[in-house]
Each structure stands twice: as C-alpha cells, then as structure tokens.
Structure 1
Amino acid sequence: MATESTSETENSENLEESPYYTGQARFEFLVERISTRVRNKIYKSFAQLAKPTPELKVLDVGVTSNRRSDSNFFEACYPHKEQITAVGLEDASFLSEMYPGLTYIQTDAMQLPFADRSFDIATSWAVIEHVGSRERQRRFLSEMARVSRKLFVTTPNRWYPVEFHTVLPFLHWLPPSQFRQILKGLKKDYFAEEANLNLLSERDFIELLPAGMKVTTAHAHLLGPVSNLVLWAEWPD
C-alpha cells in the first residue's frame, strides 16, 4: 500500500510540474475521464481493423512516462503484450515491468532503430500533433511507414469546438499564428510553440502520408461533433 501511495503522489507532482498538463489542471479529472472514454472507442476501431493475433508484431510510437489512466492506453488494452515494442523520448521503462513481455526502447521517433518492414502494424495515439512543423509531422509518419506494413494513427480534430490541451473553446479555429499569439497572452507559453502543439484537420492529416499508401479514415465523436481523427493506412501487397 505504501508503494502505491508514493507512486500516486509522485505522479501528481509530475503532473503539476509538467507544462503539458498545466492547461488541464482545473479539469484534470474530467479531461482524463473523457480522454479514456474516447480512446476506448478508438481502440475498438483498431481491434476491428487490425484483428489482433498472437503473431502480429506491433510498434507503438510515442509512449510517455506519465501514468495517468489515459496515458499509454494501447499497452493496457492490447491482449498480446509480448508482441508490443513501445518507443518514446521519455523514460517509460516501467512499461516492461507493468506489462511482462513488452519491449520498451527509449529513442527518437524521427530515426527509429528498426529495419524496413520490421512490424506488421505501427500505431501512434495523439502524438503527431506534438512533433512540430508539418515537415516533421510528415517525417514522423514516413518513418513509421518505413518500419511497418500498416499504420494506425490518431490525432484530435482541429475543428472540434474545444481544444483539448488548453481546454479553450473556438480560439484554435483562428489561423495558427493568431491562436499562438493569444496563448502567449494567456500565459500558455508551452502550447503557444509549434514544436509542442500543431493541430491537424482531416485533410492535413491525409496529406502527410507517404504516397502510394491506401488510406481509410475513421472518426470518434464526443457529444456529436468529430473529436478525434483516425487514419488506417497500408502499403499495397
């Protein structure tokens, strides 16, 4: 029991210190519940498309050191942990202990240390909006597509009425330069930087994929409008 209490305290302190979660602090419980609910829906879409088997090799790109219930959601849900290779910039080595059989590698997603077509599927859950410019987002997907045969990638919908990271309504519909200027005025400097938040519409998302991939889109809805975008892309046989 003491270990659990310490872990929860440390996690709470990390949340308070992390600029990523600053904008959500007042609404943390609600945001976490909503995020978990939406990701449950998205995982069902993944399961229908991927049809997991014990032989399927899966790469999950962009895991985090955070232990909030909506973080590293895929690792918790996927039934064949021994077939997951999870990668991220942060130290998330605890995942290998939490999910025996899982392989964790701390590395840069822009230069994945794997041979071409090493995996059957590469997934990434709401990471691409945090990798920076459109060119970096394109490189992010290209590298995932290089090492796998199929992609399952998600991101929040730019045209949803509320921007989930800042919990601000409608302002993110402005041109990005204006939105970032307002964020700076609101002291939300972290998300005012393109390197930390660069939202995507469905058209933007599709245009980032490597040429030649067959694309299927899916959506998650929250209270009506499309809240999250999903791309399922695969190389031709």
Structure 2
Amino acid sequence: MLPGGDEAAVNGDAKGVTFRHERYVKDIGGCLLNIFDTVGLNEGAAGTVSAPKAIEGLYRLMRGLDNGVSLLVYVVRGPRLKNSARKNYEMFYEIFCEKKVPIVLVITGLENEDDMDGWWKRNEAAFCEEGMRFSGTACITATKGKRDSFEEEFEDSRVKVEKLILNHCTEMPWLPPAGKGASWFGRFVVKNRNVLAKIFHLKVQVFATSIYQALRSCGIDDAQARELANKIYLGWVFSRDTTT
C-alpha cells in the first residue's frame, strides 16, 4: 500500500513463504523510510518456516540494523483475533525490542465492515486482556477488491497507515544491547564454560537471552532452547565477523 520504491511481493497462499526479511524504501509524507518485511512467526509444524528459522531471521534483522529501530508495525488480519497474536506481540515487542520501541497495530481484512474503525472499539478490550497495548491503531482494507469495488476504502486506508507511521516513529531509534558474548574473549569464556557444563551435566549458558526466551515462548524445551540459541547466535557472529 505504501508509495515509493520497489513493490513488495504479495502472497495469497494458505502457507506463508516469507523466510528472510526484505527491505523497501518508501516515501511517506516526504520522508524516505526503510520498511522491513519480517520473517513469519506463525507457520508451525505444517508451514514452510520453522519457529527456530523464523527467530533466527528476526534476530539477524535486529542485529543488522546499524541505525536501530524506530517503530514496530504489527499487522494482523481481522475480523477475528488469532491465538498467535499474543505470542507474536511478546516475540517482537517484549523480547527482542525489550519494550523500548513504540508499537502500532494495523488490522487488515475489514473491507466488509460497515464501520472499519468501529472494529477496534468492539475489540480493544480483547487485546488489553491479553496484555497487548499499542501507541496507535489503524483499521483498514489492504485490497481494492474485484473490479476495484473497495478502491475508495483502500485509498482511505492508505492515508491511515501513512499517518500512523509518521505520527509514531521515534526520533531516537533504539539499538539492541551487545549481549554477554559480544567480544571475542566473552564468546571464548562462555563457549568453554559450556563444554564443562555438558561434562558435569550443568545448564548450558546462553549467549543471547533474547533468542533463548523467544524459543522458549514457542514451546521448545529448556535444554534444546539453550543449544539452539547458542547455535543461532554463533552463526550470526561468524557471518558478521567474516563480512567485516
């Protein structure tokens, strides 16, 4: 919906196909903004993207943004709220961004509502009960429909989304902290400590708690989450070090 730059691919299949993040430059209100389409986090066992792969992709994105993060735009499809909504909110906002980045909500699929904005009035309490709070919301349709039957609603929705982004982008982007194993020496100490931990049947220490917490929130058991978290983190560090 957003104008300017390359157009993002749209997928209408039942299974999501977004594996890695994509960057798009968009002109919104005269401001050139970097918009990132992130990996999917709802695929489950039957989908094309596993939870660990999705979490790895998200972590690499967050760590690869030299200029930080200014806004999270959480897009959900209405009119019904899915059970995964709270998990995704926790993943992005609470775990990876540590509640330090403003988050706004965009609800799509409301083209058949007589009053799209009325949807939020009726459903805001359900989000609050799940502990999900947002700096702003936009109830929209993201399609013009067959024969452009929703063209007017689509254009109104475009304006809503643009205003939502411009009004809530923070002027001081947030940068994620370095983490325990950021330095070479720190990684060396933790890695060797974990070798001893396995020998003496102790808990493996994790390099990046955000990855560990994200994996645990997806139902992965403690020991496996610790192993996967370190594997994902060290893979990212290796790719970063070889690039630089």
Q: TM-score, normalised by structure 2?
A: 0.30
Larger radius of gyration, structure 1 or 2?
A: 2
- Whose strand fraction is larger, Structure 1's or Structure 2's? 1
Q: TM-score, normalised by structure 1?
A: 0.30
